[in-house]
A and B are shown apart, each in its own frame.
Chain A
C-alpha cells in the first residue's frame, strides 16, 4: 500500500456525528468486484440527487472547501464492515480522516489502505472545525512519525494515538499479509499443538 509520512493540506469539514459506512458508500455500489473507482460514489446519496445532479448544500460540492484531509464528527465509520468505505475515501483523494472517535472496523480498514485515521479530543476537533469555518483555506499539518496534528495557522497541536505496529506499516507501506505469510512455520506449529489436535479443530 501507499506509505504515509507527512501531509500539509486544507481540509473538508463534515460536522456530522455517527457517519456510517452506508452513507460513505451505499450498498448498491458494493457489487463491484475490483478495488478501483469507488471515489466517484463517495457519499453518493448525500452528494447527488436521484437524477445525478450535485446537491448544492453538501460540502463536497462546495468549491470553498478542498484538500486531502476530511474532518468529521465523532463515531466516524460506524456500521457495516465494508472496506469499500475506506477505498472510496482514499480513491476520492483523502489521505487523512480526523475525528474525535472512530469505529473499530473502519479504523482497521483505513489503516490497511494507507488512509490515516487521526483521533483528537472533542475540544481539539471543535477547534479545527472553528478554524475552518473562520477560514476555509486553513491548513492542517499531520506528521505520522511524531504522531502530531497541527492547525498550521495558529500552531495549536495535539498528538494522536496509533498502534506501533500499524505505524511502522503505514510509514513504510507494508501490508499485514506479507508479515503473516512470513510466519507460516509458526502458524503450522501452533496448529499442531496437542490441545488443538485433541479437540479435532
Chain B
C-alpha cells in the first residue's frame, strides 16, 4: 500500500519505537528564540550537559525585540534581560545566533526558509506553534514547549505520537484579490479551531500548487489555528527553485543528492488519509474574522452569523468582546489600526503587494498603519525596491523586523477597544494588547482598510 509523504518522512526519522505506540523521532533542525529557551538552557546547566548537536541549532531574537531603534539598548528591562539571556546562552553553549544587529536577524519562521536552512524531508521544531510554517517545503515541522526544547537540545530527539493524516485539497483558480491568506482563513472557518486536532495536514490541489513558496508558507503557518500538529505541501519545482542558491542551501554534488531525495517526497497515489476535504478556489472570497479565534471567519460579503448549537455562552462572550452583533456586516466597519507583519505575512511578496496598492495614495487620517518586515533581509530587499519610501509616503510606519504587534510583547500594542486589521494569525482576546480587537485578513485587505479607514472588499477597489 502506498504511503503519504508525511509517513515517508516520519518513518525516515524514527530512531526507536516507545512501548505503547509513541516514537522517538530525530529532529533535523531546531530553531530557538529568546522566549521559550531560557528555562531549557538552565535545565541543561542543572544537568551539567551541553547541546548535543550545535550545528543543527539556530537561534534568533524576534518576539520581544523593539521594531524601532534596534541599534540602541532595549528599553523595557524584562525584554532586555531575556534577549541578553539568549546571547549569553548561545555563547555558553556555542550556538549560532542571528540576533539583534545581525544581518540575518528576523522572525524565526521567516529566516529559516530564506537562508536555505529549511529543506524538504526534514523534521523541524521550535518553541513556537507557528513552526508549522516550514511545512511549506515538504517538512514535518511543529511547535513544542520549553521542556521539549530542553529535550531536543540534550538529545536532538523527541518522544511523539504519530498524528493521523488529513489531506485538504483546493482546486481551481483564485479570483483576483483573493490570496493564500484567504484560502487558509476559509479552510479554518470550515473546519473550526479544533477541526484539525490530532491530524497532520497535507495541502494539495491545483490552487495550492499555483502558489509561490511565500503563499504556501502563509497557509502552512496557520495549520496550528485549526489545531493540527502541522501542515505541509509536497515539494516541487517551485520549492527547488526557491531553495537553490540560498546561503545555506546544499551545493554541487550535495545539491544533486538532495534533489534526488526530494523528488521522492510525495504521497503515493494509493496512499490512504484518515480524513479528506475538498474545496473549490472559486468559492473563496477575501476573508475577515469577526470573533476571538481564527475559526470565526466569514467572507467579506457575508454577515456575522448567530451562535450555533446549545452552548452560546462562548460565542456571545466573543462577540461582546469584539463589540459586534450577529447580522452585522464587517464591510464598511471603521477601524483604527492596521498591522502588516508577522510570520504569516511579512515577506517580500506581501510588501510588494501592499506597496503596489498604496502607491500614490494616503492612509486615512484616523488610522495608524504599521508595516513590520519579517527579517533584515526582507527589509533590505524592500528598501532596494523603494518599498519603504512608497509606504512612508502613504503614511505607513515602516519598522524593523520582529514579531511586533502580532502578540504585543514589545511596545507595539493595540489600545483597548480599538479595531486592528491585522495580517497576523491570532485574534484571541487581548492578543494584541488587553482589550484589543483584532480582525485577521490578507495583506491587501489590510492595506485597503488603511487607505479607506474602514474595511472594504478589495475586489471592488480600484487598483492604481
Interface residue ranges, A against B (CB under 8 Å): 15-18, 20, 22-23, 26-28, 30-35, 45, 50, 73-75, 78-84, 86, 101-105, 108-109, 112-113, 163-168, 175-177, 179-181, 183-184, 186-187, 190-191, 195, 198-201
A112 to B146 CA separation, bound complex (whole angstroms): 10
Could you tell me which residues of chain B, from 223 to 253, have a CB within 8 Å of some CB in chain A?
224-225, 227, 229, 250
Could you tell me which residues of chain B, from 290 to 318, have a CB within 8 Å of some CB in chain A?
293, 311, 313-314, 317
Which residue of chain A lies nearest to B311 when distances are taken between CB atoms in the complex? A17
A74 to B311 CA separation, bound complex (whole angstroms): 11
Q: Which 8 A-B pairs have the closest CB atoms?
A: A164-B20, A83-B145, A81-B143, A31-B78, A33-B38, A180-B155, A109-B145, A81-B129
Contact status B20-A104, CB under 8 Å: no
Chain A binder among B266-274, B329-337, B367-375, B423-431: B423-431
Q: Does B418 contact A (CB under 8 A)?
A: no
Contact status A15-B143, CB under 8 Å: no
Which residue of chain B lies nearest to A102 when distances are taken between CB atoms in the complex? B197
Q: Which of A18, A32, A179, A186 has the most CB atoms of chain B within a 10 A radius of its CB? A: A18
Question: Which B residues lie within 8 Å of A187 (CB)?
Answer: 15, 24, 26, 155-157
Q: How far is the CB of B116 from chain A (nearest CB, A)?
A: 13
Question: Which B residues lie within 8 Å of A175 (CB)?
Answer: 147
Q: Which of A16, A82, A167, A179 contacts B314 (CB 8 A)?
A: A16
Question: Which B residues lie within 8 Å of A104 (CB)?
Answer: 163, 197-198, 227, 229
Q: Does B19 contact A (CB under 8 A)?
A: yes
Contact status B429-A45, CB under 8 Å: yes
Question: Which A residues lie within 8 Å of B198 (CB)?
Answer: 104
How many contacts A-B (CB < 8 Å)? Answer: 194
Q: Does B114 contact A (CB under 8 A)?
A: no
Q: Which of A20, A102, A180 contacts B24 (CB 8 A)?
A: A180
Could you tell me which residues of chain B, from 140 to 154, have a CB within 8 Å of some CB in chain A?
143-148, 150-151, 154
Q: How far is the CB of B167 from chain A (nearest CB, A)?
A: 18
A183 to B212 CA separation, bound complex (whole angstroms): 40
Contact status B38-A199, CB under 8 Å: no
Q: How far is the CB of B250 from chain A (nearest CB, A)?
A: 6
Q: Interface extent on B, as a size class?
A: 35 or more
Question: Which A residues lie within 8 Å of B18 (CB)?
Answer: 165, 179
Which residue of chain B lies nearest to A106 when distances are taken between CB atoms in the complex? B145
Question: Which A residues lie within 8 Å of B393 (CB)?
Answer: none
Q: Does B82 contact A (CB under 8 A)?
A: yes
Q: Does B91 contact A (CB under 8 A)?
A: no
Question: Which A residues lie within 8 Å of B389 (CB)?
Answer: none
Which residue of chain A lies nearest to B409 when distances are taken between CB atoms in the complex? A27
A86 to B47 CA separation, bound complex (whole angstroms): 23
Question: Which A residues lie within 8 Å of B58 (CB)?
Answer: none
Q: How far is the CB of A21 from chain B (nearest CB, A)?
A: 9
Question: Which B residues lie within 8 Å of A201 (CB)?
Answer: 28, 122
Q: How far is the CB of A54 from chain B (nearest CB, A)?
A: 16
Q: How far is the CB of A94 from chain B (nearest CB, A)?
A: 17
Contact status A180-B145, CB under 8 Å: no
Interface mask (B40-57 → A, CB under 8 Å = 1, otherwise 0): 001100010100000000
Q: Does B85 contact A (CB under 8 A)?
A: yes
27 contacts between A and B (CB under 8 A): A17-B314, A18-B293, A22-B431, A23-B428, A27-B431, A30-B36, A31-B81, A33-B42, A45-B430, A73-B314, A79-B129, A81-B143, A83-B36, A83-B146, A101-B194, A108-B144, A109-B145, A163-B20, A163-B22, A164-B20, A165-B21, A175-B147, A180-B155, A186-B15, A187-B15, A187-B156, A201-B28
Chain A binder among B104-112, B254-262, B279-287, B341-349: B254-262
Q: How far is the CB of A127 from chain B (nearest CB, A)?
A: 14
Interface mask (B115-132 → A, CB under 8 Å = 1, otherwise 0): 000000010000111000
With A22-B431, A33-B38, A35-B39 in contact, is A177–B145 under 8 Å at CB? no
Contact status A190-B311, CB under 8 Å: no
Contact status B409-A78, CB under 8 Å: no
A166 to B429 CA separation, bound complex (whole angstroms): 32
Question: Which B residues lie within 8 Å of A28 (CB)?
Answer: 408-409
Contact status B81-A33, CB under 8 Å: yes
A74 to B309 CA separation, bound complex (whole angstroms): 14
Contact status B128-A81, CB under 8 Å: yes
Q: Which of A30, A112, A164, A190 contacts B15 (CB 8 A)?
A: A190
